[in-house]
């Protein structure tokens, strides 16, 4: 019977989803997490391995003689040495486009928190500040309207386009920088060079992949181009930002605020400078993780495997 091993199933399915689609295709073993030293042992009999963040490379492949297929339970597939897999005729697939709406939704949850400080105002009310107020209302922070502001979007794939559509609905002006041709899709937007976009935007939202060219894209130089009133949102990859440079910019008031769902090292070490930076919101890589998005991911990953078993692989990387 076909042996299928999931190396790190907990993030995708902490218990609220079912693995039944995979169970129908073979003998399934699911490990919540797998440390690097146990990868070879746990996957040694498997023809099919599914992984989210557990790395697989040449050293692992050398001891996995039965391995024919790796299904990455995510869009990003840098956890797999794809070139080494290809040399060994191991098919690698990923799951694109499952979290577009969820990620775009969090972009605006983060941005609106920066604009309205909802949590801080809620806490102030609960601590009695409103009850003690002489007026019918109060606010502890400037309140910012997004209509008329310029939304700068770096990377214009599916998520970037969805963010643009929401920003347009809020009355924002759209500025886009992309390495590939931009299809406006009916949206009014301007395509700009990166430096020009940085200097003009009121909000910068990152939606590009992490590559050698984009690593450290946001650094002291590029931050210096931004308005002191600008906000930075990152739901893409933490490595796009030089974290010490961003912390310095925030602490010095060089930009007004940042909201990040991703960091360069996850979980972050306690000395990450952004954990104590001024006006910096950090969420623990949750943009992708709504119940709906994880359900889609599970379904598409199963469809990928079924297509491979039928001899017609899809979403091959």
Write the pLDDT tens digit of every residue in 220-243. Answer: 999 999 999 999 999 999 999 999
Mean pLDDT over each residue of the chain, to the nearest integer: 97
99: CB partners within 8 A, 6+ apart: 75, 159, 287, 288, 290, 293, 296, 297
The pLDDT assigned to 200 comes to: 98
Write the pLDDT tens digit of every residue in 230-280. Answer: 999 999 999 999 999 999 999 999 999 999 999 999 999 999 999 999 999
How sure is the predictor about 5, in pLDDT bands with cuts at 50, 70 and 90?
very high
Residue 156, both tokens: 């214009």
Percent of all residues in the chain with a pLDDT value above 90, rounded to a whole number:
99
Write the pLDDT tens digit of every residue in 126-147. Answer: 999 999 999 999 999 999 999 9
The pLDDT assigned to 61 comes to: 97
Write the pLDDT tens digit of every residue in 53-62. Answer: 999 999 999 9
Residue 4, both tokens: 């299928």
Percent of all residues in the chain with a pLDDT value above 70, rounded to a whole number:
100
Q: What is the pTM of this model?
A: 0.93
For the chain, list the domains and their CATH numbers: 3-98+291-309 (3.40.50.720), 100-282 (3.40.50.720)
Judged by DSSP in three states, 61 sits in: helix
The pLDDT assigned to 56 comes to: 98
Catalytic residue positions?
237, 266, 285
CA-CA-CA-CA torsion sign (155, 176, 213, 277)? negative
Task: In whole angstroms, give the CA distance from residue 101 to residue 293.
Answer: 8
How sure is the predictor about 28, in pLDDT bands with cuts at 50, 70 and 90?
very high
The DSSP secondary structure of 235-250, one letter per residue, reads: -S-GGGB-HHHHHHHH
Write the pLDDT tens digit of every residue in 177-186. Answer: 999 999 999 9
Write the pLDDT tens digit of every residue in 143-175. Answer: 999 999 999 999 999 999 999 999 999 999 999
> From the CB of residue 19, how many other CB atoms can be counted at a distance below 10 Å?
17
Task: In whole angstroms, give the CA distance from residue 123 to residue 278.
Answer: 18
């Amino acid at each position: 019977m076909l042996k299928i091993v999931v190396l790190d199933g907990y993030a995708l399915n902490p218990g609220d989803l079912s693995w039944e689609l995979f169970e129908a295709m073979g003998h399934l073993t699911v490990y919540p997490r797998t440390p690097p030293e146990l990868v070879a042992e746990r996957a040694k009999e498997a023809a099919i391995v599914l992984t989210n963040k557990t790395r697989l490379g040449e050293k692992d492949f050398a001891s996995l003689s039965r391995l024919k297929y790796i299904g990455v339970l995510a869009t990003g597939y840098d956890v797999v040495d794809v070139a080494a897999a290809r040399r060994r005729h191991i098919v690698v697939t990923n799951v694109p486009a499952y979290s577009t709406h969820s990620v775009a939704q969090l972009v605006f949850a983060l941005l609106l928190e920066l604009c309205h400080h909802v949590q801080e105002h809620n806490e102030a009310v609960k601590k009695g500040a409103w009850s003690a107020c002489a007026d019918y209302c109060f606010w502890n922070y400037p309140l910012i309207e997004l209509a008329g502001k310029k939304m700068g979007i770096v990377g214009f794939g599916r998520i970037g386009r969805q963010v643009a559509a929401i920003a347009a609905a809020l009355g924002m002006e759209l500025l886009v920088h992309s390495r590939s041709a931009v299809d406006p899709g009916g949206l009014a937007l301007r395509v700009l060079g990166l430096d020009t976009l940085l200097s003009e935007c009121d909000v910068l939202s990152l939606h590009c992949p992490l590559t050698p060219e984009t690593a450290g894209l946001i650094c002291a130089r590029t931050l210096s181009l931004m308005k002191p009133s600008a906000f930075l949102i990152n739901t893409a990859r933490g490595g796009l930002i030089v974290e010490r440079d961003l912390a310095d910019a925030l602490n010095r008031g060089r930009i007004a605020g940042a909201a990040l769902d991703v960091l360069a090292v996850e979980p972050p070490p306690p000395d990450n400078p952004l954990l104590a930076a001024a006006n910096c919101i950090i969420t623990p890589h949750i943009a992708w993780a709504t119940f709906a998005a994880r359900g889609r991911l599970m379904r598409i990953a199963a469809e990928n495997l079924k297509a491979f078993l039928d001899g017609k692989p899809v979403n091959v990387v």
